C-alpha cells in the first residue's frame, strides 16, 4: 500500500464524539510510551502528524487520522502507566474499551510491544479483550533498533508464544527510527482493508 495522503481529523474524549463518517479503521494500541504515535508518523511518512513525547501518557485522547481518504488510523491512549492520575485513568479505560467494543468497522488492532520489555500482563489483558471481541490483532515489536540483534530471535519467539501464533513470522519487528518493518506493516494493513472488503456483505 502506498500512502498518498494523510491528515489529522479529530481528537475524541468521549464515545459520543466518535466520527460518524464511516470508514474502515485500523487502531494502534499499547502501553504508554511504547511508540504508538511514532509508528503512525513513520507509517504515514510524516515527522510529527501524531504527537510524540518522551513523557509517557501524553496521548490521552483517541486521535483519528484519515489515510488516502480511505481509512482511519486511530491512535489510542496508552495503558499501564503508573504515574497517570487515577482520575484520568478512569476516563481512558472505558474510552478505549468502549471504542473497541462499539461495533465500528475496525479491521485490525496493531498491538505494540516494547522490544526491550517484551509482553507484559497489561498486553495480555488487551490481547484477551480483543480476542473476546473477535477483533484481529497484529503484534508489533517496537523500538527494535534498541534491541541487540542477537537478542531478537528469542524475543520474537517469546511474543509469538504469548500470542499463540504458530509462526514467529506473525510478529512484526518495527523501528520508527530506521523505519524497519514499515513496508511489511503497510502491506499487512492493505491486505486487511482489501480482504474484508472482498467478503460478501452479510444480509
Ligand atoms: P503515549 O502516547 O504516551 O502512550 O506514548 P506513545 O506510545 O505514543 O509513544 P511515542 O510515539 O510518543 O514514543 C515514546 C518515546 O519513544 C519517544 O521518545 C520516541 O522518540 C521513542 N520511540 C518511539 N519509537 C521508537 C523507535 O522505534 N526507536 C527508538 N529508538 N525510539 C522510539
Ligand atoms: Mg502517543
| CB 84, CB 77: distance < 8 Å | no
Pocket flag, ligand 1, residue 33 (CB < 6 Å): yes
Q: What pLDDT score does 36 carry?
A: 94
Exposure string for 79-91, b = 16+ CB within 10 A, e = fewer = bbbeebeeeebee
Classify each residue of 25-53 as buried b or exposed e, where b means 16 or more C-beta atoms within 10 Å of its C-beta.
Answer: bbbbbbbbbbbbbbbbbbbbeeeebbebe
Other Cβ atoms closer than 10 A to 5: 10
Q: Is the CB of 168 under 6 A from ligand 1?
A: no
Pair 108, 185: CB distance under 8 Å: no
- How do 172-173 and 106-114 pair as beta strands? unpaired
Does ligand 1 come within 6 angstroms of the Cβ of 53?
yes
What pLDDT does residue 49 have?
87
pLDDT in the model for residue 50: 83
Q: Is the CB of 32 under 6 A from ligand 1?
A: yes
Which atom of ligand 1 is nearest the CA belonging to 55? 3
Q: What pLDDT score was predicted for residue 20? A: 83
Cell of 81: 502507566
Structural domains of the chain, with CATH: 6-197 (3.40.50.300)
Say which residue, 51 or 33, is predicted with more confidence: 33
What is the Cα–Cα distance from 18 to 27, expressed in whole angstroms? 13
pLDDT at 197: 55
* Whether residue 84 has pLDDT greater than 80: no
Please answer whether residues 68 and 5 qualify as being in contact, where contact means their C-beta atoms are separated by less than 8 angstroms. yes
Ligand 1 pocket, residue 41 CB under 6 Å: no
Average pLDDT over residues 75-103: 77
Angle between helices 121-132 and 86-100 (to 10 degrees): 30
Range name among 80-84, 91-95, 122-126 with the lowest pLDDT average:
80-84
**Which residue has its alpha carbon closest to ligand 1 atom 17?**
54
d(CA 114, ligand 1 centre) in Å: 10
Of residues 139 and 87, more confidence is placed in 139
Mutate to test the pocket of ligand 1, among 27, 31, 33, 182 (most ligand atoms within 8 A of CB): 33
Q: Quote the pTM value.
A: 0.91
Model confidence at 165: pLDDT above 60: yes
Q: Is the dihedral of CA 50, 182, 21, 128 positive or negative?
A: negative
Amino acid at each position: 500500500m502506498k500512502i498518498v495522503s494523510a491528515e489529522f481529523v479529530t481528537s475524541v474524549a468521549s464515545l459520543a464524539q466518535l466520527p460518524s463518517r464511516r470508514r474502515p479503521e485500523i487502531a494502534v494500541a499499547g502501553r504508554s510510551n511504547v511508540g504508538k504515535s511514532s509508528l503512525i508518523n513513520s507509517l504515514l511518512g510524516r515527522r510529527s502528524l501524531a504527537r510524540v513525547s518522551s513523557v509517557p501518557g501524553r496521548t490521552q485522547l483517541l486521535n483519528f487520522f484519515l489515510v488516502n481518504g480511505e481509512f482511519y488510523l486511530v491512535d489510542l491512549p496508552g495503558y499501564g502507566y503508573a504515574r497517570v492520575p487515577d482520575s484520568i485513568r478512569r476516563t481512558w479505560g472505558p474510552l478505549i474499551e468502549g471504542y473497541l467494543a462499539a461495533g465500528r468497522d475496525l479491521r485490525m488492532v496493531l498491538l505494540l510491544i516494547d522490544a526491550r520489555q517484551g509482553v507484559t500482563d497489561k498486553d495480555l489483558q488487551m490481547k484477551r479483550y480483543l480476542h473476546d471481541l473477535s477483533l484481529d490483532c497484529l503484534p508489533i515489536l517496537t523500538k527494535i533498533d534498541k534491541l541487540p540483534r542477537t537478542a531478537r530471535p528469542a524475543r520474537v519467539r517469546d511474543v509469538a508464544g504469548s500470542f499463540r501464533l504458530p509462526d514467529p513470522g506473525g510478529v512484526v519487528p518495527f523501528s520508527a527510527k530506521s523505519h524497519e518493518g514499515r513496508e511489511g506493516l503497510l502491506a499487512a494493513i492493505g491486505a486487511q482493508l482489501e480482504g474484508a472488503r472482498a467478503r460478501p456483505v452479510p444480509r
